Amino acid sequence: MSKPLSGKVALVAGGTRGAGRGIAVQLGAAGATVYVTGRTTQPGGSEMRRPETIQETAALIDQAGGRGVAVRVDHLVPEEVRALVARIEAEQGGLHILVNDIWGATTMEWNKTVWESSLDVGLRTLRLAVETHAITSHFALPLLIKSPGGLAVEVNDGTTEYNATHYRVSFFYDLAKAAVGRMAFALAHELKPHGGTAVSLTPGWLRSETMLEAYGVQESNWIEATKRSPHFAISESPAFVGRAVAALAQDPEKARWNGQSLSSGQLAQVYGFTDVDGSRPDCWRYLTEVQEAGKPADVRGYR
């Protein structure tokens, strides 16, 4: 099999599960060495209280054909992030891909105003979703720019265009998602003089472990969830956004995307990759043109 990212080193910050795990595995499938971080290890958990671990993600990277390195890191602790980057430099000599997918918020308060919300919960959300990304970029990007053509990906929920016109059901969540998109925009300006590229990238309706559990299904029978939520038919596996990042990383002309807000469905049309079922779900177009327009669920023309 072709390994176009052989010799490349990636850091997927927040790769325990969901989009982060999907991205880490697909970078491995393309041949990269992938450092995957998170707080849930064997043994040892996080406030997420989920069973997935970074060691499992590293093993999946290995199985896909890459090399996975699991490192427990709390990205709110600057010294832990500094030590992580120093280790990558000592062991690999460089860093070519940085993926900021850190989230880790376990308690969200939906459909509450800012004054009705718990201030502790809201500020914790912002710390986990925004501060972690800033800390990681601060320490990792000096290593990334030592090699030409570096790629920084801020994983978001929603494109900048979508988030600018939609209230995201919580003051704090809305603010967090807007901030992540803006971080990618700012990083693009700072990386450009060094030959680097930064983008914001969103998956669509993601079939994460948490989402599948909420619907009482598994990846093998996820379609059963459409009986409860018909529009779930547009959903995508974590591998889809992973393939989007792998395609970006391989593109010698990736700088054309610098500063842009992208989606997995959009990039699938450009690069030609598919989801695990061979389809190309275009979730964000579907949401606005079908679901929010009040039309019956119908994914024809959207995947």
pLDDT tens readout for residues 52-81: 799 999 999 999 999 999 999 999 999 999
- What span, in angstroms and rounded, lies between the C-alpha atoms of 266 and 285? 9
> What mean pLDDT do residues 23-41 have?
94
In the prediction, which pLDDT does 105 show?
67
In the prediction, which pLDDT does 141 show?
98
In the prediction, which pLDDT does 49 show?
64
Name every residue whose Cβ is closer than 8 Å to that of residue 2 and which is 6 or more positions away in sequence.
none
128 DSSP 8-state letter: I
Residue 41 has pLDDT above 80, yes or no: no
Name every residue whose Cβ is closer than 8 Å to that of residue 263 and which is 6 or more positions away in sequence.
159, 201, 202, 203, 204, 282, 283, 284
In the prediction, which pLDDT does 109 show?
85
Q: How confident is the model at residue 39 (pLDDT cuts 50, 70, 90)?
A: confident
Q: How confident is the model at residue 237 (pLDDT cuts 50, 70, 90)?
A: very high
- What span, in angstroms and rounded, lies between the C-alpha atoms of 257 and 163? 19
Residue 40 has pLDDT above 80, yes or no: no
> What mean pLDDT do residues 171-188 have?
96
In the prediction, which pLDDT does 52 show?
79
Percent of the residues in the chain that have a pLDDT greater than 70, as a whole number: 95
**pLDDT-wise least confident of 40-44, 101-105, 147-151, 262-266:** 40-44
What domains are defined for the chain? 9-208+238-285 (3.40.50.720)
> What mean pLDDT do residues 242-268 have?
98
> What mean pLDDT do residues 98-124 have?
89
129 DSSP 8-state letter: I
- Check if the beta carbon of residue 117 is closer than 8 Å to that of residue 171: yes
In the prediction, which pLDDT does 66 show?
97
> What mean pLDDT do residues 72-101 have?
98
The C-alpha torsion from 235 through 237 and 240 to 242, rounded to 10°, is 140
Residue 44 has pLDDT above 60, yes or no: no
> What mean pLDDT do residues 27-41 have?
93
- What span, in angstroms and rounded, lies between the C-alpha atoms of 282 and 266? 7
Average pLDDT taken over every residue of the chain: 95
> What mean pLDDT do residues 265-275 have?
98
In the prediction, which pLDDT does 45 show?
62
Residue 100 has pLDDT above 90, yes or no: yes
pLDDT tens readout for residues 184-228: 999 999 999 999 999 999 999 999 999 999 999 999 999 999 999
